[in-house]
Amino acid sequence: MMGLVHVILAVLSLLTVGQSAPVTSCESLTKQVEIIGRNQLLGKWMYIGESTTIAGFKLLTKALVETSWARISAADESDAINVFQSQKMLGRCFTATTKMTLGNNTLSMVHPMHVSEVLLSTGCPDCLVLQTNFTFGGSTYKGLQFMRFCPDESNLQETETTDLTTDISSMNAEDVKLFDRFLSSSDGIQLLIKIITTGLTGLKEN
């Protein structure tokens, strides 16, 4: 049971789940901009809005996610970044660190799922807007993440935290396929919410 819960949480964290707040002035968010080196991406970012083509995703994030932020730092390789993500779900923090490669104005990741992201123009100097394609389990989904620079330190220390990085690195194609099957129906989404809610309640009681 915990294995399944961890797989689900790990995939959720890869989908960079934020609160599904409505993004205003979408008209200006349609133009791709060049990523001039990785420096413009570095820093700490709050996910403040997200929209995806995954049916039921809004329901999923509304039921589970309180806050979500990422700290992007330079990786050892000159063309890569480390993305440390923290999501507060049902009163608990889940973190994960993944690496993305920058090339051809695109950020990409291949394991455990194919992710590619481009930067869109925004009128806000402290914001990042990313358009993302996720491919896993035979499906391709699109997402739009709206992030804003956040100078405050997080309250990560005060909250019980589970790191999912090893769950992500040991995840296989079957695991992500399973997650994709859940996403394919509203019953699946409801079941997903139930599994996570029950799983996390179990964690608290231990």
Ligand X SMILES: *[C@@H]1O[C@H](CO)[C@@H](O)[C@H](O)[C@H]1NC(C)=O
Which one of residues 49, 52, 72, 117 is an interface residue with ligand X (CB under 6 A)?
117
Q: Is residue 116 a contact point for ligand X (CB under 6 A)?
A: yes
Q: How far is the CB of 108 from ligand X (least distance, A)?
A: 7
Query: Which residue(s) pair with 115 in the sheet?
Result: 109, 134
Q: Is 96 exposed, middle or buried (0-12, 13-18, 19+ CB in 10 A)?
A: buried
C-beta closer to ligand X: residue 67 or 116: 116
Q: Smallest gap, in angstroms, from Cβ of residue 81 to ligand X?
A: 13
How do beta strands 139-149 and 80-89 pair?
unpaired
- Closer to ligand X by Cβ: residue 94 or 136: 136
Binding-site size, ligand X (CB under 6 A):
8
- Find the shortest distance in angstroms from Cβ 154 to ligand X: 28
Dist CA 198 CA 192 (whole Å): 10
Residue 175 binds to ligand X (criterion: CB under 6 A): no
Q: Is omega for the bond preceding 125 within 30 degrees of 0, making it cis?
A: no
Residue 133 binding ligand X, by CB under 6 A: yes
Q: Binder to ligand X among 67, 131, 139, 154 (CB under 6 A)? A: 131
d(CA 179, CA 132) in angstroms, rounded, equals 18
Q: Please classify residue 187 by burial: count the beta carbons closer than 10 Å to its beta carbon, then call 0-12 exposed, 13-18 middle and 19+ buried.
A: exposed
138 binds ligand X per the rule CB under 6 A = no
Smallest distance, ligand X to C-beta of residue 9, A:
24
Number of residue whose CB is nearest ligand X? 103
Contact pattern for ligand X over residues 79 through 108, marking x by CB under 6 A: ------------------------xx-x--
- According to DSSP, the β-strands at 161-163 and 92-103 are parallel
Give, for 90, the enclosing helix (H) or strand (E). none
The residues of the shown chain that bind ligand X, judged by CB under 6 A, are 103-104, 106, 116-118, 131, 133
